[in-house]
Structure 1
Amino acid sequence: MCRLTIVTTAGRPDEQSLKLAELASQELNAEIISRQKRSVRKLAEIYNANIIVAGKNRFEYYAKGAEAPFFFHPNSAAFRLKRVARGEEEPLLTASAIQKGDTFLDCTLGIGSDSLLAAFAVGETGKVTGLEADKNVAFIVKTGMQTYDTTELPLTGCMRNIEVIHSTALEFLKKQEDASFDIVYMDPMFEEVIEESTNFEALRFAGDHIPLTDEWVKEAKRVAKRRVVLKAHYKSDWFEQYQFQRDGRLTAKFHYGIYIK
């Protein structure tokens, strides 16, 4: 059963915060609750709910019980894009063999970093679709991509071209025609936690963590025109189980698996 979500504002809301709260309320069909000097933790306890906080220039999502909020920021993708711009190899792009004009389906959008890399690679003639199973996370990332000031990180302007859809991967894939996306990409939450990765803790707590299944992989292979790419912990047996060619790197905690049609 899905937990209730409510919307509130920062402690001292301005006009912009109130407008953002109204937007979140409409998009998520969630009630706006006045802050009244109460902490986010207190509101979560009173209403037994997840909390969306409309701040002055962004949304923050506190899943019930979370100590830190999930919010959109393209920092990690911007760092990777700078490396690509310098001509350095980006493992995701190499594994995907992305070309200008390609269609790329990200089955597990999360914070959107991988989709942003893909959007940069496919260019204006291509298309990237990102699926996110958690409605609140999808809302945070979608609005963030639409409104983030890309002048600060100019290479990230391609985020405007990403279509964010609230859906589980399997639900969406079943509705697609055969070979309808050039590349289908899957990055389920790792079976084993990578201790060094602290950037994703808020998402790990907030998002829906749906394990890989036979049906999911079967549908991904059907919908992909050229290849399916799987990202998983280096200890994972998914690569062998689902017949993906492992693209291993000696120092990496995760590997990419490639299935070429």
Structure 2
Amino acid sequence: MCEITTIVTTAARPDALSKQLAERACTMLNVRFVERKKRGIAKMATLYNANVIVAGKNRYEYHALGADAPFFFHPSSAAFRLKRAARGEIDTFLAACQLNEGDTFLDCTLGMATDSMMAAFAVGESGKVIGCEGNANVAFIVSEGMKRYDITDLPLLSCMEQIEVVHSVALDYLKLQPDNSFDVVYMDPMFEETIEESTSFQPLRQAGLHEGLSDEWMTQAERVAKRRIVLKAHFRSDLFEQYGFVRDARLSSKFHYGIKEVT
């Protein structure tokens, strides 16, 4: 069986900008460009046995081979969560993390970067937010999406410009970090259990790398975290008890946060 690769193409009617974006994707990901030639993306994916990144006029789309829908960057719930946080309303993620201006924050499971945006807002320009993403294509789509997203009507989203996206699985990245190098280490193994109504994340589920929480991952997180580790998981998850997290139970939510202070 042929190995699955990644190719880059343009929208059906490319303009100069989409051609430039396609060239950038090829360079950044070290993959080849394939002319669209009026072909559908599904047909190209099958023909080349490849994932397909499409450079459009204003965004990239990632069509993972066999996926039902493309993955592309959008701020998701961060837009309205940032508005609420700016008004002084409680955000459960920020309450769990207890981030301060100037803090350092490591998101082990970046995904759509929604929570990292909240963290960037909390730590401010003097802080540091790094997000790990194990899938190179997803890391590229999110990183480029945050750089290019039009924030004209959503100025609070400017905080995402300071998020550094790292293409690495969390464990490998943690192993390279010094002791006590991040105030808060955050992990959200979102694929542990599927939430039926969470349709906006379905493309990411199909495109992303599924990484389960392990003993070694926790050991490294405890070494790297200076203040606390925060876990987000389904309310039925046994990870809270397994790894000694104090659960912040929310009766109205299907996800809970777990907090583990590091001493």
- Place the TM-score, normalised by the shorter chain, in its bin: over 0.9
Q: How many residues align?
A: 261
Q: Return the offset for 1:2.
A: 6.8
Q: Look up the match of 1:38.
A: 39
Are 2:14 and 1:29 aligned? no
Q: Match of 1:105, SS?
A: strand
TM-score by length of 2: 0.97
Compute the displacement of 1:76 (Å).
1.5
Query: 1:88 matched to which residue of 2?
Result: 89
What is the aligned partner in structure 2 of residue 140 from structure 1? 141
Q: Deviations over 1:187-226 (max 9, x none)?
A: 0124221112111000000000111100001101110000
Q: Secondary structure at the match of 1:199?
A: helix
Contact 1:190–1:233 at 8 Å: present in 2 too? no
Q: Is the 8 A contact 2:104 2:183 kept in 1?
A: yes
Partner of 1:195: 196
User: Could you say which residue in structure 2 is the equivalent of 1:218?
Assistant: 219
CA distance in 1, matches of 2:250, 2:44: 45
Q: Deviation of residue 23 (structure 1)? A: 0.2
Distance (Å, rounded) in 1 between the aligned partners of 2:238 and 2:109 = 19
**Aligned residue for 1:74?**
75
Find the counterpart in structure 2 of residue 237 from structure 1: 238
Partners of 1:13 and 1:130 lie apart in 2 by: 32
| Structure 1 residues 92 and 144: alpha-carbon distance in aligned structure 2, compared to 1, 3 A threshold | same
Calculate percent identity across the aligned residue pairs.
Answer: 63
Distance in 1 between residues matched to 2:9 and 2:58, nearest whole Å: 14
Q: Which runs of 5+ in 2 are unaligned?
A: none
1:2 to 1:93, Cα distance in 2 relative to 1, 3 A: farther
Q: Does the CA contact (< 8 Å) of 2:101 and 2:126 recur in 1?
A: yes
Deviations 1:100-140 (A, max 9, x none): 10000000000110000000000011010010000000000
Q: What SS does structure 1 have at the residue aligned with 2:77?
A: helix
Structure 1 length as normaliser, TM-score?
Answer: 0.98
The whole-number CA distance in structure 1 between the counterparts of 2:97 and 2:171 is: 20
Q: Answer whether contact 1:131 1:164 (CA < 8 A) is retained.
A: yes
| 1:149 shift after superposition | 1.6
Give unpaired runs (5+ residues) of structure 1. Answer: none
